[in-house]
Structure 1
Amino acid sequence: MAKSRNNLLGVGGQRKKLSRAEQQGAGPARDNDRKAAEDKKQELVRKMRERAAGAEAAPAQDAPAES
């Protein structure tokens, strides 16, 4: 019996599973966008902490002056 040429299952190795974004060609660009967004978030959190630390120090200085 002749070898079947229609069944090519397993020929050519395995392929990486791609997400929908990667299938549409937005793989690496999307990763860069995520990194940029994370950097902006970290900068915002840092600024908010600095303001909160400044706001805590200001009332402490004002309190003794009222007495």
Structure 2
Amino acid sequence: MAKSRNNLLGVGGQRRKLSKGDQQGSAPARAADRKAAEDQKQELLRRMRERAQGQQQES
């Protein structure tokens, strides 16, 4: 019989260790990084939509 596939302990890598600052809740820099990443994603989506609309209008 094959090994149990229901036991996924350890699958998916290790958890990231939290720094003392993160543990204490002082992570405004991470929030700013997250906001910057979200802004980049929105800008990328906007450019992709514009490009797709331009291709539809040319057809």
> What's 1:53 paired with?
53
Q: CA deviation at 1:25?
A: 7.8
**Higher relative CO (CA 8 A, sep ≥ 6), structure 1 or 2?**
2
Q: CA deviation at 1:26?
A: 6.4
State the structure with more CA Rg: 1
TM-score (normalised: structure 2): 0.59
Correspondence list, 1:10-21, <5 A: 20-21=18-19
The answer to which structure has the higher helix fraction is 1
Q: CA deviation at 1:43?
A: 0.4
Please report the RMSD computed on the Cα atoms of aligned residues, expressed in angstroms: 2.1
Q: Which runs of 4+ in 1 moved over 4 A?
A: none
> What's 2:31 paired with?
31
Q: CA deviation at 1:58?
A: 0.3
User: What is the distance in 1 between the residues matched to 2:28 and 2:34?
Assistant: 10
TM-score (normalised: structure 1): 0.52
How many matched pairs? 40
